[in-house]
Structures are given as C-alpha cells and as structure tokens.
Amino acid sequence: MKLSGTEIVIECLKRENVKVVFGIPGGAIMPLYDTIDKKATFAHILTKHEQGAVHAADGYARATGEVGVCIATSGPGATNLVTGLANAYLDSIPIVAFTGQVISPLIGTDAFQEVDITGITLPITKNNYLVMDVKNLASTIKEAFYLARTGRPGPVLIDLPKDIQFAKTDFHYPDKDKYLGYRPTIRGNLNQIRKTADAIHEAIRPIIYAGGGIINSNATNELQALVNKTHIPVTTTLMGLGSFPENHDLSLGMLGMHGLYYANTAISEADLIIALGTRFDDRVTGNTKQFCPKAKFIHVDIDPAEISKNIKVDIPIVGDLKYVLTKLTQLVEPKKETEWLNRIAELKQKYPLQYQRDNQLRPQYIIEKLYELTKGDAIIVTDVGQHQMWAAQYYQYHQPRSFISSGGLGTMGFGLPAAIGAQIGCPNKKVVCIAGDGGFQMNIQELATVVKNKLPIITIIMNNGYLGMVRQWQELFFEKRYASTSLDGSPDFAKLVQVYGGKGVKVYTKDALDETLKEALSDNQFILIDCIIPPEENVFPMVSPGKAINHMLGENKS
C-alpha cells in the first residue's frame, strides 16, 4: 500500500495511540494539515502561538504520562518551539515535535522561512531528524516515539521537507523497539543494590531525596513500599512533588532554595542520603562544598551522565527506579530509627511554614484555601515566579502528576498553555492554573484557546504589580533598586478575559476569594480570578546564593 508522507505521519500517530496534537499550520507544513483535516483519527488543538503548542504538549505529557505531540511550520514556526523544547529537555518530558521544512533541493539556500532547526535544537532534544527520503519516514517516527518515552524521557524533533510530505512509498511500520547504540539500563546492578541495603541498615540518620524520576518511572508505589519498611523520611525536589504523599508523617516536603526549613535542616544533619531520580540541581544543593557534609551519598538514576556530575556519590546505581526500588525493598531489613524520627518531629514543630496572618489577601492564604477546598484532588499547574514557590510550599500533593511546573528552565509563560494540555489530557480532573501577572502575559493569547475549546480551567493570577521574584531579589540583594520590575500598564485581567469570551473576577479580600473559589470549584467552566495581593510580599524561607541550604532567610517569619 503506497502512502504519501503526510498519510504515513497520520498512520504512525494512529499506531502510537496519539489522541491529540497541538499546533499551528503554515506554508511548509500545509500538506500535513490538509491530510489531518481529511484523515486524522486524533484531535487537533489550534493554539495561538507555537510556544503555546509545545507547552500544551508538555502539560499533556506530564499530566497523562503519554508522549505529547506538537506541530509547527518552518522558519519562525519552528524557532517558536525552541523554548518549549528546552523546557521539556531539562525536565525530562517526552514530546515528539513535527516541523515543516522547505523542499529538499532548497535546503541550505536561505530559502523563504528556512532555518536549520535540527542544528538549532541539537543541544535541547534527546534526538532530532531531518527526513530526506520518504522511505525512512515511518521508521524515523517509530524511533522518535521510542526514544522520547524510554530511558530518561525527553523531546524529539522530526523535520519534514515539503516535498517529502507529498512523496509516496510503500508503508510498513517497524515492529522493533530497540535501536543500535541506544540501550537504557533498566536493571540496576544487584551488588550495588545490596550495598545500598547494607548502608541503610547501618545509617542512623537516613533521608530519601526524591526527584521527578520517581514520577517518570511510575515508581511512587515502590517508593512508599520502601518507606513503609524502613521508616526513612522523604524530601522531594520541585519536580518530585507528588512522588510521595505530603500528608504522610514521614514527608518533609520540598527542600532547596525555597524549601521548608525543617527539610533543609534535616538533610544537612543526615548521615545517609538516598537520591532517587534527581540531578543535585544548584537550586537544591546551594553551595555544593557545604551540601550535607556528614552524609554518605547513594544515587539511583537511569541516566549515567547524572551520576557524580554535581555531587560525588559513594554508591552509584544506574537503572530504572521501579526495578531498583522493588529489589531494594526486598533486600533491605525493616528498621525504625526512633531518635532520628523524634528529631524530625521536633524540627517540624519548631519551624513550621509561617506568614503574616491578617485581613489582607495574602498569596499563602490563597494556596491554603485552595488546598482546603480541593483536599488535594486537583492538578495544580503553575507558571514561574513567587507564586510557583508558594504553590509548592502551601499546597499538599498526594498523588503523582498532580503538580505541573517548569523546573529546570524556569519558563515564564508556561502555566496557561501547560494547563490546556493537562485539562485536555485529564478531562475529568479539576485543573487549576496559578500564575503571576508577569508570566501570564507572556502567553496570554492562549486564553482564546481555552475559551474556544470550552476548557473548565480555574486560573488564579497572583497580581502584585511586579515581576515578583526579580523584585524580591532586588529588595534583598540590590538595596531595593526595583529596576524594570514594575508592571505598570498591565491590563485589567478580569475585563480582558471577558473580551475573549470567558469569565473574569477581580478579588481584593479573603471573603471575596473564598466565595469565588467555592463557586468556581462547583462550576464546570473556565474562570479567571485576579487576586490583588500585597506588592512586596516575599517567598520565605530562602537560601541566599552561595550559602549552604541550612542557612536560610526568614525561616521563622511571622
């Protein structure tokens, strides 16, 4: 059966069980869009910007665990995907992106809307392809999906010249799912796992430091089984939120620059750190020379490049966390270090999260009220900034894939389009997008996508009139010189969303927020809640740059 290149793409996406793609058409990708219109079995969501499309595919992938798919045309369409691909790459999110390209004879001539997108994205994709022969297209797509979802997940890009989209060939979808030179290690070394079990047995003050790898490998149950047997307290990274239920007695919540004081203090006192699916990011470690000086380090990760990259480890294990934790739980002896757990309880009681509780509408109160009303049964999607940290600190995450945020790249403008992807991927879940008034305006055009597709996303804007996190640093480290951080001239968001055809409400008080949130959660339609908060509210605790993580500012602020 001979199929055109575009028909091959459609058939391959069907074989990969793709349910939805996000994108925008243009000249070089028009043949594919014509075939999508005629023959696709999946839904297509037209976003208003290509960055919106790739962030939506990212949010879809994080919420569902499936590969997100996006499409853009050549030139500016392709380059508009770059930030989103980098975002997915740093957070290990599986995406397959298709881009149009000029006809193959014109490649390298600086033709209209031609860019070398495979060259541009080489450092920020797991792999990428320029398809120059339609006979290779089906196998390329098969390989792209396999690479995106296996091992350490990540984005893959396929560039499609326009003539290749029209060309025809016999269609055959490969059966193989392994490729030369790519062999992720799934089964961790058993001797190293035994050494880990022995180290746990010998430790007096052990801590599990869990990252997004737990969620990517679907190993949350295995982590809980290990904790139930060993009674080791767990702290998580930003990307690891939801990997261990935060209402559990052994949860320490998030650690790092804006982590909880007792989490940072406890890990600094630990004698054994079991790092699971995390990369010892600088926002976690602070000054690496002063990071947990009393501890022995165990590091389990599917990516061997991460082992001892930032922190030298004593027991490295390369492997899939689901496999390694299953084996470790079988081998480890039951234990409970009562004195250590008493110390943890003491720290929690002495240094709880605190903020000024008064009649003002404060951001911490907003997050607490949201948790109280949802009881953790929601997908929280954030943009990047102060609101992101408040959402990480004051909402309790019980389930994996319930917290979606840009971690490694810290991409402002991520929140709204990612919430679109999450809501489409999980239509029966309540999706709440939390954004700042700065980042929200970076992809504000996706309000049209929300309204057009009748997506019941609750969007909360923490509106302080500033680029809040930058302003906080200017206050603390630049003598309050608020250089170019005031957002004077921002629109009235509640009125603006009404122009798009949605519902917008502006709230100034706790009572107004309570009433609006209750109504929004009982409704099943999109609403934007513009919360006017104090302009100089800061995120605390905070580790100053260059300091050890147990040296924190405002740890007991009241």
2-170 against 190-350: fold identical: yes
Q: Where are the alpha helices (DSSP H) in 231-362?
A: 261-269, 282-285, 321-331, 338-350
Please give the pLDDT value at position 554.
Answer: 86
Active-site residue numbers?
50, 112-113, 162, 469
Q: What is the DSSP letter of 249?
A: T
- Ramachandran sector of residue 486 (left: φ over 0; alpha: ψ -120 to 50; beta: rest): beta
Supply the pLDDT for residue 506.
98
Q: Which helix (H) or strand (E) holds 160?
A: strand 155-161
Domain ranges of the chain: 2-170, 190-350, 363-539
pLDDT in tens, 487-501: 999 999 999 999 999
Which of 348, 127, 333 has its CA nearest to residue 247?
A: 348
**pLDDT average, residue stretch 92-105:** 98
Q: Quick check: 508 pLDDT over 80?
A: yes
Q: Give the pLDDT score at 557.
A: 40
Task: Report, in angstroms and rounded to the nearest whole number, the Rg of the chain calculated over CA atoms.
Answer: 24
Which are the contacts of 5, defined by CB distance < 8 A and separation ≥ 6?
A: 31, 131, 134, 137, 160, 164, 165, 166, 167, 168
CA distance 429 to 228: 29
DSSP one-letter string for 49-98: SHHHHHHHHHHHHHHHSSPEEEEE-STHHHHTTHHHHHHHHHHT--EEEE
pLDDT reading at 555 higher than 70: no
Class of domain 190-350: alpha beta
Instruction: Report the percentage of the chain scoring pLDDT > 70.
Output: 99
Using the predicted structure, report yes or no on whether residue 272 has a pLDDT greater than 50. Answer: yes
Q: What does the longest C-alpha to C-alpha distance in the chain come to?
A: 72
CA dist 349 and 292 (Å) reads 22
CATH class of 363-539: alpha beta
Residue 486 pLDDT > 80: yes
d(CA 404, CA 252): 19
| Pair 234, 250: CB distance under 8 Å | yes
Higher per-residue confidence, 1 vs 520: 520
pTM higher than the cut 0.75: yes
Per-residue confidence (pLDDT) for residue 558, from 0 to 100: 33
Task: Report the C-alpha gap between 74 and 81 in whole angstroms.
Answer: 10
| Measured distance CA(526)–CA(447) in Å, rounded | 10
Confidence band of 349 (pLDDT split at 50, 70, 90): very high
- DSSP letter for each residue of 24-46: ---GGGHHHHHHHHHH-SSEEEE
Structure tokens at 4: 């055109």
The percentage of the chain sitting over the pLDDT mark of 90, rounded to a whole number, equals: 97
Residue 297: what pLDDT?
98
Q: What is the pLDDT of residue 1?
A: 80
Q: What average pLDDT does the structure give for the chain?
A: 97
Tell me the average pLDDT across 40-50: 97
For the segment 177-195, the average pLDDT, to the nearest whole number, is 91
State yes or no: pLDDT of 67 exceeds 80. Answer: yes
Q: Per-residue pLDDT averaged across 306-330, rounded?
A: 97
**What's the confidence (pLDDT) of residue 181?**
85
For domain 2-170, give the fold. Answer: Rossmann fold (3.40.50)
**Residues recorded for the chain:** 558
pLDDT for residue 283 is more than 60: yes
For residue 178, what pLDDT is reported? Answer: 72
How large is the average pLDDT for residues 414-441?
A: 98
> What tokens does 442 get?
């970076």
**Residue 556: pLDDT over 70:** no
pLDDT tens, position by position, 124-177 = 999 999 999 999 999 999 999 999 999 999 999 999 999 999 999 999 999 877
What is the spatial distance between Cα 97 and Cα 482, in angstroms, rounded to a whole number? 39
Residue 134's closest CA among 107, 110, 158, 157?
Answer: 158
